[in-house]
Chain A
Amino acid sequence: MIEFLQQLINGLSLGAIYALIALGYTMVYGVLRFINFAHGDVFMIGAFVGLFAGPMVMRGFGGQPTWTGAFLVLIIAMVACAILGIVIEKLAYRPLRNRPRLTVLITAIGVSLFLENFGQLPFVFGPDPQSFPDLIGDHAITIPAMFGPLTDLTIMVSQVLVFVVTIVLLVALRFIVTRTKLGMAMRALSVNPVATSLMGVNNDVVISFTFGLGSALAGAAGILISIQQPSIDPLMGLQPGIKAFVAAVLGGIGNIPGAALGGILLGVIETLVVGYSDVLHIPPGYRDAVAFFLLILILLFKPTGLLGRVEREKV
């Protein structure tokens, strides 16, 4: 039972990361009907922004890990990634707005490959993994004795942080999407772009905003995962990127709560499959295949995802 709870905690923590990245995919798909292949690499850039900003910020706080310093790095990474996302959209995707979707998809692949390989150049990040600075002085929380058997659980401060930050960001996102004008414009755009622009909305601004928002969340995810797993490299966005996309599809692509749900689910399932690999007779080497397996299942049986709606083609 304790074992299960431990796996659950680890899975939720991983799932929160997937959820943050998945939100970016789903929002962009919602407004543009296209899969931003480069999104996972924005996540990676977030981590590297933290790599460079972290020591600078910590120096300002006397070289010690502090909560304030950590949040500052988080904000810096989110802003940097938001800008990156907006720039990519403007340069590479906007000129192709009216072209067949496949054209933009291929461009996105190009951007993704470029970011990954450019990052591997020696004068950029270099191909080798680097150590992420310890921003918060991570350690396991001591569970008070009154919780009895629960004291055997290992809960890291970083895991709690990931969870708290994710929830805060989700709440903030929900507020933006449901209570602000820009959020309403985003939702309108995802239903009918032409009508939206006829209502006086500047579609380009809303799309830029969507990209910025999604990229900021990916940047946050980059920082959060690096706090937990301090080894970062330019290709770190590949697997989480694809998995987060699976999570978005799982929840229903274009559906924001769906992306969060899908992310959490995927994180938990993946962790449980690996944690119980001996019982399930699935070798742990198949960890990465879990997401693809789920993807295929979902696309075969419920392609609109858990929370998605059916879109009919007009004949």
Chain B
Amino acid sequence: MFERSKFTLLASIAAIFVVSRFSSHIGPYYYDIIISIGINIILAVSLNLVNGYTGQFSLGHAGFMSVGAYTVAALTTAGTYTVLPRLAFLGPVVSISVYFGVSLLLGGLAAGIAGLLVGIPSLRLKGDYLAIVTLGFGEIIKVIIENVDALGGSRGFSVLTVYTNLFWVYSIAALTIFVVLNLVNSTYGRGFLTVRDDEVAAEAMGINTTKYKVLAFSLAAAFAGVAGGLYVQFKQFITPEGFNFMTSVSIVTMVILGGMGSTAGVVLAAILLTILPEWLRYISELPSLPAWLVPLLQNQMIPYSILLIILMLTRPQGLFGVAAVKRKPA
């Protein structure tokens, strides 16, 4: 008897495989957007595990993405002449797949370990403090990379290959969703939700809240690392500045817009917020547009920030989230 969630996952991957065979028919502009959407889905769904389901506010997700990105960049570059030829016996497609797959795995592992290192000291803090500390760690990671010459420092790092494609991105996105949903919809995973709802009560019910917080944090970091690896083998060029606080905020915005604690909402939000800047750029290039409006739309942070403010003022629970219980004024 086939278990339902695994079946859905395998069926999805099969469908993605079929669709990806036709990817050459998609124009490069749209292909770019579709890949970006997939990467953002991985980032947002994984962050939702921390911010949404476990209720811990992390503002440093981009830092873990960069750990994965640089790890994969380094591995795929360094191994081109040493490791890859040894896999040649598997044939061109399989050898690259194995090579890339293992690099992604290692990138995710590195990011997960970084998540562990950051999480263990930070997660004793709550609310605003946790947010600031994760922000701080994100900045520290950025500064460290900037000071490592071997990784190109602030000038950046280039890779010569493009291993990322529709199949990789969307299979991993499907896997991310599978992991998060299966986790949360189990008695074990309900532990995450208790930490979000009431830590004191959770501890009183025998739940090790620290374990759950660190677990969510590290797992999310690992997925962010994999997303970073997919990113670098797509854009071919990364700089530490590309993984700064603004990037973290963009991912957080997707989680908030989607409704913290709703994976479906977050996926939808990732899609919308990836398309939004492109749509704004399209509008800004329309000839009939008044000139003063053009720069307002081209700097995507302006509509982003306005969206954030309006969202918080009018519908802080996002698209599909549950409205938070109102705090008593006392």
Listed in ascending order, the chain A residues whose CB lies under 8 Å from chain B are 34-35, 92, 95-107, 109-114, 116-118, 120-123, 193-194, 242, 245-246, 249, 283, 285-286, 288-289, 292-293, 295-296, 299-300, 303, 313, 315
Contacts and interface: CB of A to CB of B under 8 A. Distances in A.
B305 A110 contact: yes
B299 A121 contact: yes
B19 interface: no
Interface stretch (B71-79, B138-146, B216-224): B138-146
Contacts of B93: none
A293 B328 CA distance: 36
B167 interface: no
Across the A-B interface, the 9 shortest Cβ-Cβ residue pairs: A110-B308, A113-B305, A292-B136, A114-B305, A110-B309, A117-B301, A289-B143, A107-B312, A110-B305
B292 interface: yes
A209 to B, nearest CB: 20
B239 to A, nearest CB: 15
B198 to A, nearest CB: 11
Contacts of A289: 139-140, 143-144
Interface string B256-281: 10000000000000000000000000
Contact of B132 (A113, A295, A313): A295
Contacts of B304: 113
B121 interface: yes
A178 to B, nearest CB: 27
Interface string B310-330: 001100100000001011111
Contacts of A121: 295-296, 299, 302
A179 to B, nearest CB: 29
Contacts of A123: 292, 295
B309 A283 contact: no
A105 B295 contact: no
Nearest to B153: A285
A35 B316 contact: no
A101 B127 contact: yes
B57 interface: yes
B299 A117 contact: yes
A95 B313 contact: yes
Contact of A303 (B129, B249, B316): B129
A189 B129 CA distance: 21
Given A100-B327, A118-B302, A315-B200, 11 more contacts: A98-B328, A99-B316, A101-B128, A103-B324, A106-B252, A106-B312, A110-B307, A113-B301, A117-B301, A120-B299, A295-B133
Grouping DSSP codes into helix (H, G, I), strand (E, B) and loop, the B interface class, with mixed when no group exceeds half, is helix
B246 interface: yes
Q: Pick from B129, B143, B301 the residue with the most CB of A within 10 Å.
A: B143
A22 B200 CA distance: 32
Nearest to B143: A289
A117 B133 contact: no
A261 to B, nearest CB: 19
B147 interface: yes
A113 B312 contact: no
B131 interface: yes
B309 A292 contact: no
A288 B302 contact: no
Contacts of A193: 329
Nearest to A124: B295
Contacts of A283: 147
Contact of A98 (B125, B147, B327): B327
24 contacts: A98-B328, A99-B316, A99-B327, A100-B316, A100-B327, A103-B312, A106-B308, A107-B309, A107-B312, A109-B249, A110-B305, A113-B304, A117-B299, A120-B299, A123-B295, A249-B132, A285-B143, A286-B143, A292-B136, A292-B139, A296-B137, A299-B121, A299-B129, A313-B200
A98 B326 contact: yes
B329 A98 contact: yes
Interface string B114-133: 00000001100101110111
B302 A117 contact: yes
A295 to B, nearest CB: 5
B125 A106 contact: no
B133 to A, nearest CB: 6
A303 B127 CA distance: 13
B205 interface: no
B130 to A, nearest CB: 9
B200 A286 contact: no
B224 to A, nearest CB: 19
Contact of B309 (A99, A111, A116, A296): A111
A117 B140 CA distance: 23
A303 B136 CA distance: 15
